[in-house]
Structure 1
Amino acid sequence: MKVALIQLDSQWCDVRQNIARASQYMRDVEADMYVLPEMWSTGFVIKPQGVAESESTSTSLQWMREMAFEKDCAICGSLAVSLADGSYRNRHYFVTKNSSFFYDKKHLFSHGKEDLNYQHGDVPVIVKYKDFRLLLQTCYDLRFPCFSRYGRAGEYDAIVYVANWPSSRRLAWDVLLKARAIENQCYVIGVNRVGSDETCIYDGGSAVIDPLGRILVDAKDKENVSSAELSLDNLQKIRSRFRVLDDRDLFTY
């Protein structure tokens, strides 16, 4: 499966501009699955009031659906959305030509007061696409390995992290993406943004890591689209030759 990483410089609350930039990158590279950053269409909005789109009328979500249909592909990335009950969610969508799934961010970034405005999710979400089982995660979730642990979160082949991860903590991003891949013997896809907003500078580092912790693609620190091939055969060979997962600690909710 070919995965494309769209490392976007999200323009602050400019949905149409961000859609236009993402559209161009999708047309530049053919892939089975495209991954966008966290809150890709607005930037990381701590205070969603007046900014978050209603899920039922979201221009950003509608664009994801239209592009998935047009290119017969999968698109994922998170959006700040408001629900009919008045709550706000940092919702990681996974959209295909015929279906749509979502995961609500579990670990809200309390250091930045995200938890004061958004309602968190409760359980991991795994979707199946092109025979791959994909665990959806968002940014700060990367720091909490028990939540994403293979077997506890479910059985999966890859973890997809979408993020707005600042340059000041870039070392943690680089190390933890590799750690999640190695400890769970899975592929890890991490897509971060570049650019800046009122509080942070972002320097990308979007990457695909294989189950041995090797970097398959590194998007560096500029806005761009990059891609990598994921192989189920390779994953299964690694897991069967070195059966680490058989000895993992078992957790229950």
Structure 2
Amino acid sequence: MQHLKIALIQADLVWQNAKQNRIKFSKKINNITETVDLIVLPEMFTTGFSMQPQKIAEYMVGDTVKWMQQIASEKKTAICGSLIISENKNFYNRFIFVHPSGKIEYYNKRHLFTLAGEHTVYTPGKEKIIIEYKGWKICPLVCYDLRFPVWARNVENYDVLMYVANWPKPRISAWDTLLKARSIENMCYTIGVNRVGIDTNNLEYNGHTAAYNCLGEQVAKTQENTEDIVIVSLEKNHISEIRTKLNFLSDKDIFEIT
């Protein structure tokens, strides 16, 4: 598939209320008039960035995952975002990708945000995954992972690097800069989907959801400080042309992450 059309949904989140957030996102998804291949929601899109997983964690057979499968089936599109998941007596900030067929793939956030104490209540992921979808290779990561380029390093020849986040306004300049940097250094499309609004902890989020091409050029962005949906069409030819012309990935250093 030469083109991949993706809907990026930037929204305010109802604090720790999965049902209300599912209702909110259902309405937004139903208002998308274009046919898209993938819908991307923010980090912890059913709860906000909560450090109380004991109260609100869901399961892989829970209501929100079933809701994602229903959306994927009805809309004939993939859908993804991160959820608080309980599994084997551990809590995970889990990026879940649901294919139109209902097949589920997931990635557990590796870099937990110590400034908020995320590392004290959640278990870090250990594996980086590559999702293959419609001929595209997608690398899913979550929020704080953005600050660690070694983990995102393109050794798998992926096409799209995708971040979902609750990234606050005071550090939004870093978000903008690092998304652009990741696209340049990995010679891939990079997408970042952030939230807006003010959460219960009085943290403010102003969005800056965006997509960048292989040269670090911004090809799509949402309106700041508002709920918004932007649709971006990625082109395979752009990747192959840039990597053929500028063969920088072949000059990367070889090392292993331990």
Q: CA RMSD in A?
A: 1.0
C-alpha contact (below 8 Å) 1:25/1:224 kept by paired residues: no
Normalised by the length of structure 2, the TM-score is: 0.94
Q: Which runs of 4+ in 1 moved over 2 A?
A: none
Query: Unaligned regions of 5+ residues in structure 1, if any?
Result: none
SS in 1 for 2:42: coil
Contact 2:15 2:200 in 1 (8 A): no
User: Following TM superposition, by how much is the alpha carbon of 1:155 offset from its aligned partner in structure 2, in angstroms?
Assistant: 2.2
- Range with bigger deviation, 111-120 or 27-36: 27-36
Whole-Å Cα distance in 1 between the matches of residues 114 and 223 of structure 2? 28
Gaps of 5+ in 2: none
Distance 2:132 2:183 in 1: 18
Following TM superposition, by how much is the alpha carbon of 1:14 offset from its aligned partner in structure 2, in angstroms? 1.7
In the alignment, the residues of structure 2 paired with residue 144 and residue 175 of structure 1 have an alpha-carbon distance, to the nearest angstrom, of 13
Which residue is 1:80 aligned to? 84
Q: Contact (CA 8 Å) 2:78, 2:99: kept in 1 or not?
A: yes
Q: Which whole-Å deviations, capped at 9, do the CAs of 1:176-218 have from their partners, x for residues lacking one?
A: 0000000000000100000111221100000011111111111
Deviations 1:2-42 (A, max 9, x none): 01001011110121221112112212223110000000011
Residue 118 of structure 1 pairs with residue 122 of structure 2: yes
**What residue number does 1:205 align with?**
208
Which residue is equivalent to 1:2? 5
Task: Give 3-state SS (helix, strand or coil) of 1:53's partner.
Answer: coil
How far apart are 1:54 and its partner, in Å? 2.5
1:16-165 matched pairs, under 5 angstroms: 16-29=19-32, 30-56=35-61, 58-83=62-87, 85-98=88-101, 99-151=103-155, 154-165=156-167
| 1:226 alignment partner in structure 2 | 230
Count of aligned residue pairs for this structure pair = 249
Letter of the 2:125 partner, please give it.
Answer: G
Aligned with 2:79: secondary structure?
A: strand
1:194 & 1:59 partners in 2: Cα distance?
Answer: 24
* Superposition TM-score, scaled by structure 1 size: 0.96
Q: Deviations over 1:80-133 (max 9, x none)?
A: 0111x2110000001012211000000000110000000010121110111110
Choose from 179, 182, 185 the match for 1:183.
185
Shift of 1:220: 2.5
The DSSP-based 3-state class of the residue aligned with 2:30 is helix
2:59 and 2:106 mapped to 1: Cα distance?
15
Q: Is the 8 A contact 2:81 2:96 kept in 1?
A: yes
